[in-house]
Structures are given as C-alpha cells and as structure tokens.
Amino acid sequence: TANLDPISTSRIEGLITNIIHRYNTTIIMATHDMSQGQRLADRIGVLINGEILQTGGSREVFTSPRNREVAEFVGIENIMNGVIAASEEGLVAIDIGGKVIAAISNYPVGEEVCACVRPEDITLALSEAPSSARNLFIGEITRVVSVGSLTRVEIDCSFPLTALVTKRSAEELGLEKGKLVYATFKATGVHIIKK
C-alpha cells in the first residue's frame, strides 16, 4: 500500500482484515509503515539486514523493543545512553550525563543502559504543573514540524527530546522555536534496554 492514497489504503486494509476473519487464516505481510503494522498485525517480526531481531505481539514490539536497533526501527526517537545511578524497590535513577531519568527496572547500579521514551508519551506545558510523572525537564524548542494531525516538537533539555502533541495542543500552547517548555513523562513510560 506504499504508493496508494489514504482512501485506497484503508480499503485494502479492510479487505485484508475481512479475509483474515472470514477464512480464519494467517497472512504474512511486509510493511515499512509502522502505523499499518500496528493496525493489522496480531504478531510482528522486525527484520533488519536479513535477520529477524524480535517477534511478538504488536504492543510488545512497539513498547518493549529488545535492542537499540529495534527501538529505532519501530519509531522510538528518544533513546538516551546512561548508567543506573541508584535503585530502590524497582525504581531506578538513570544518569544520562548530568540529568537523571526515573524508570521502573531491576537493573543493578552501574549497569549501562539506553532509556527509551516514545514521543507520544511526553506531555508539554508552559509552566510546571502538579503531576504524578516522575520525569520533568525544562528545555528550549529547537524545531516544530507538522506531521498529519500531530505536531512533532524537538526540545533541547541539555539532551535532545522529541514529543508528539496534537495540533490543537501545539496551537493552544503557542509552541514555536525558541520557546521554553516543560516536558514530563512517567517512569512507567521509560523502556530500558541493556547496552
């Protein structure tokens, strides 16, 4: 469906879904469209350089990639290298070069890891607001790009962070290059990969 218009793509996806249910069959499909993969697949295999690096349910593959390569492939834009600096009852502090990210993990202190945060799991605000999110960073917007019904916001928090917000939120917050924003995300929204 790569070269089809959105209406035709939707029709083809409907036909595929209908065939699966009608004939109770399995279909093997290749796509580079991550959204399409999530819409159609019960199970996903990530094939990179001729090798299947991970298989699993759609949610599992997209939220818990096995390694950095898979994380990048499935669209996790925020991948920060760090070291577990502290650990207490399943909550860890990851030092990413002077800043600390809170996450849920049982990795030991001293373990080198990558902290992965999906851009849609980041909330932006113009001021610090009460929140249950354990991760709060202030940063300057470096780029704002319209992506369909969403807006992609790149922020310099002394480390790069990318958030996806609705167009309406972007307009209401007046998000533009040079503006300071507060970026928050939950510890449960951080997926940790051992380096």
> Scanning the structure block, which residue is given the tokens 């669209």?
75
Place of tokens 């209401």: 172
Kindly tell me if the per-residue pLDDT of 2 is higher than 80: no
Tokens 């699993």 sit on residue: 56
**What average pLDDT does the chain have?**
94
85 in the same domain as 20: no
- Are 99 and 60 members of one domain? no
Q: Say whether both 117 and 174 belong to one domain.
A: yes
pLDDT at 130: 83
Residue pLDDT, tens place only, 40-49 = 888 999 999 9
Q: Is 102 helix (H, G, I), strand (E, B) or coil?
A: strand
Q: Which of 69, 31, 63 is nearest to 49 (CA)?
A: 69
The model's pLDDT over 81-134, given as tens digits with 9 standing for 90+, comes to 999 999 999 999 999 999 999 999 999 999 999 999 999 999 999 998 888 899
Is residue 30 located within the same domain as residue 123?
Answer: no
Residue numbers of the domain that contains 91:
78-194
Local confidence band at 33 (pLDDT 50, 70, 90 cut-offs): confident
